[in-house]
Chain A
Amino acid sequence: MTINKYLKEPVESLFAEHPYAKDWLEQISCVIDPGDTLFDVLYKQRESFYVSQNMTARMIARQFEDYLQVMRDMLEQPVRAVKTITLCPGHGKTKEPEQFAPLTFHPGDIIAVVGPTGSGKSRLLEDIECGASGNTPTGRRMLINNETLSKDRKTRTRQRIAAQLSQNMNFVIDLTVRDFLSMHARCWPTANTGGRIERILELANSLAGEKFDMESNVAQLSGGQSRALMIADCALLSHAPIVLIDEIENAGINRRKALELLTGEDKIVFLTTHDPLLALLAHTRLVIKNGAIDRVIQRTKREEETLRKLEAADNKMLELRTLMRGGELLEDL
Chain B
Amino acid sequence: MKLITFSGPPSSGKTSVISKMIRAYLERGTKVGVVKFDCLQSNDDKIYARLQVPVLLGLSGQQCPDHYYISNIEDVFNWGAGIHLDILLSESAGLCNRCAPHIRGIPAVCVIDQMSGVHTPGKIGPVLRFADIVVITKSDIVSQAEREVFEMNVQYVNPRAEIFHINGLTGQGSAELIEALDGYTNDSVVTDNKLRYPMPMALCSYCLGETNIGARYQLGNLRKIKIPEENTGGSK
Question: How far does the alpha carbon of A181 sit from the alpha carbon of B149 in the complex, in Å?
Answer: 10
Question: How far does the alpha carbon of A54 sit from the alpha carbon of B179 in the complex, in Å?
Answer: 34
Interchain nearest-CB distance for A232 vs B (Å): 10
Q: Given contacts A135-B179, A153-B163, are A171 and B151 in contact (CB under 8 A)?
A: no
The answer on a CB contact under 8 Å between A233 and B145 is yes
Question: Which of B50-58, B77-85, B136-144 is the interface stretch?
Answer: B136-144
Contact with B along A205-242 (1 / 0, CB 8 A): 00000000000000000000010001001100110100
Question: How far does the alpha carbon of A26 sit from the alpha carbon of B180 in the complex, in Å?
Answer: 30
The answer on a CB contact under 8 Å between B115 and A172 is yes
Question: How far does the alpha carbon of A169 sit from the alpha carbon of B139 in the complex, in Å?
Answer: 9
Please indicate the chain A residues that have their CB under 8 angstroms from the CB of B145 in the complex: 180-181, 184, 230, 233-234, 237-238
- B122 on the interface (CB 8 Å rule)? yes
Please indicate the chain B residues that have their CB under 8 angstroms from the CB of A70 in the complex: 159-160
Contact with A along B151-182 (1 / 0, CB 8 A): 11001110110111000000011011001100
Contact with B along A168-197 (1 / 0, CB 8 A): 111111000000110110110000000000
Q: How many residues of B sit at the interface, in one of the four size bands?
A: 35 or more
Task: Specify which of B122, B164, B175 is in contact with A136 (CB 8 Å cutoff).
Answer: B175
Interchain nearest-CB distance for A91 vs B (Å): 16
Q: Which of A126, A154, A173, A238 has the most CB of B within 10 A?
A: A173
Shortest Cβ distance from B116 into A: residue: A172
- B129 on the interface (CB 8 Å rule)? yes
Q: How many residues of A sit at the interface, in one of the four size bands?
A: 35 or more
The answer on a CB contact under 8 Å between A23 and B149 is no
Please indicate the chain A residues that have their CB under 8 angstroms from the CB of B198 in the complex: 54
The answer on a CB contact under 8 Å between A74 and B155 is yes
The answer on a CB contact under 8 Å between B160 and A126 is no
Task: Specify which of B144, B173, B201 is in contact with A51 (CB 8 Å cutoff).
Answer: B201
The answer on a CB contact under 8 Å between A67 and B159 is yes
Task: Specify which of B155, B160, B179, B200 is in contact with A52 (CB 8 Å cutoff).
Answer: B200
Question: How far does the alpha carbon of A130 sit from the alpha carbon of B172 in the complex, in Å?
Answer: 10
Interchain nearest-CB distance for A20 vs B (Å): 5
Shortest Cβ distance from A73 into B: residue: B159
The answer on a CB contact under 8 Å between B157 and A27 is yes
- A250 on the interface (CB 8 Å rule)? no
- B64 on the interface (CB 8 Å rule)? no
Give the contacts of B102-122 with A (CB-CB under 8 A): 115, 117-118, 122
Question: How far does the alpha carbon of A18 sit from the alpha carbon of B92 in the complex, in Å?
Answer: 34
Interchain nearest-CB distance for A165 vs B (Å): 7
Shortest Cβ distance from A175 into B: residue: B118
- A31 on the interface (CB 8 Å rule)? no
Question: How far does the alpha carbon of A187 sit from the alpha carbon of B122 in the complex, in Å?
Answer: 15
Interchain nearest-CB distance for A85 vs B (Å): 18
Interchain nearest-CB distance for A146 vs B (Å): 22
Contact with B along A252-284 (1 / 0, CB 8 A): 000000000000000000000000000000000
Please indicate the chain B residues that have their CB under 8 angstroms from the CB of A130 in the complex: 173, 176
Q: Which of A74, A172, A237 has the most CB of B within 10 A?
A: A172
Shortest Cβ distance from A136 into B: residue: B175
- A24 on the interface (CB 8 Å rule)? yes
Interchain nearest-CB distance for B32 vs A (Å): 19
Interchain nearest-CB distance for A170 vs B (Å): 6
Interchain nearest-CB distance for B134 vs A (Å): 10
- B125 on the interface (CB 8 Å rule)? yes
Q: Given contacts A172-B117, A180-B145, are A154 and B162 in contact (CB under 8 A)?
A: yes
The answer on a CB contact under 8 Å between A233 and B143 is yes
Question: How far does the alpha carbon of A126 sit from the alpha carbon of B160 in the complex, in Å?
Answer: 25
Q: Given contacts A153-B180, A157-B151, A183-B118, are A24 and B141 in contact (CB under 8 A)?
A: no
Please indicate the chain B residues that have their CB under 8 angstroms from the CB of A240 in the complex: 144
Please indicate the chain B residues that have their CB under 8 angstroms from the CB of A84 in the complex: none
- B146 on the interface (CB 8 Å rule)? yes
- B148 on the interface (CB 8 Å rule)? yes
Question: How far does the alpha carbon of A129 sit from the alpha carbon of B162 in the complex, in Å?
Answer: 17
Question: How far does the alpha carbon of A164 sit from the alpha carbon of B141 in the complex, in Å?
Answer: 11
Please indicate the chain A residues that have their CB under 8 angstroms from the CB of B125 in the complex: 27
Please indicate the chain A residues that have their CB under 8 angstroms from the CB of B201 in the complex: 51
Please indicate the chain B residues that have their CB under 8 angstroms from the CB of A186 in the complex: 149, 152
Query: Chain B: residues with CB nearer than 8 A to chain A?
Result: 115, 117-118, 122, 125, 129, 140-146, 148-149, 151-152, 155-157, 159-160, 162-164, 172-173, 175-176, 179-180, 197-198, 200-201, 223
Known contacts A153-B180, A171-B142; 13 further A-B pairs (Cβ under 8 A): A67-B159, A70-B159, A130-B176, A153-B163, A163-B144, A170-B143, A180-B145, A186-B152, A187-B148, A187-B149, A187-B152, A230-B145, A234-B144
Identify the 6 closest CB pairs spanning chains A and B, nearest first.
A153-B162, A70-B159, A184-B145, A187-B152, A163-B144, A54-B198
* Interchain Cβ contacts under 8 Å between A and B, 11 examples: A27-B125, A154-B162, A166-B140, A168-B141, A170-B142, A172-B141, A173-B146, A183-B149, A184-B148, A233-B145, A238-B148
